[in-house]
Amino acid sequence: MPKNITIQKILGILLHRIRFILLVAVAAGLLTFLYTNFFITPQYATSAMIFVQNYSKADAESDAANAAKSDGNSSNNAIAKKIFSSDISGSSNLAKISVTLFQNSDKITALYNGCKVSFSVEEGTFYITISVTGSDPEKCANVANQIADMCNEVFHDNFAWGQLGVIRTAKAPGAPISPNKMQNTLIGFAVGLIAACVIAILLELIDTTIKSDEDLAELYKIPVFAEIPDFENGSR
pLDDT, tens digit, for every residue of 225-235? 556 666 566 55
Residue 196 exposed, middle or buried by CB count within 10 Å (0-12, 13-18, 19+): buried
Tell me the pTM.
Answer: 0.72
Predicted local confidence at residue 2, as pLDDT: 47
Domains contained in the chain, CATH given: 7-38+181-220 (no CATH), 44-168 (3.30.70.1130)
Predicted local confidence at residue 18, as pLDDT: 94
pLDDT one-digit tens code per residue, 7-57: 888 898 899 899 999 999 999 999 999 999 999 999 999 999 999 998 765
Check the CA dihedral 97-161-91-117 and report its sign: positive
Rg (CA), the chain: 35
Which one, of 104, 172, 176, lies nearest residue 143 by Cα? 172
Kindly state the DSSP code that residue 74 receives in the 8-state scheme: -
| Cα separation, 51 vs 28, whole angstroms | 49
Mean pLDDT throughout 161-180? 94
Cβ neighbours for 107, distance < 8 A, ≥ 6 positions apart: 150, 153, 154
pLDDT one-digit tens code per residue, 177-207: 999 999 999 999 999 999 999 999 898 888 6
Residues across the chain: 236
Cβ neighbours for 189, distance < 8 A, ≥ 6 positions apart: 25, 26, 28, 29, 32
Predicted local confidence at residue 161, as pLDDT: 86
Predicted local confidence at residue 47, as pLDDT: 97
At 1, is the pLDDT very low, low, confident or very high (cuts 50, 70, 90)?
very low
Is residue 20 within 8 Å of residue 203, measured between CB atoms? no
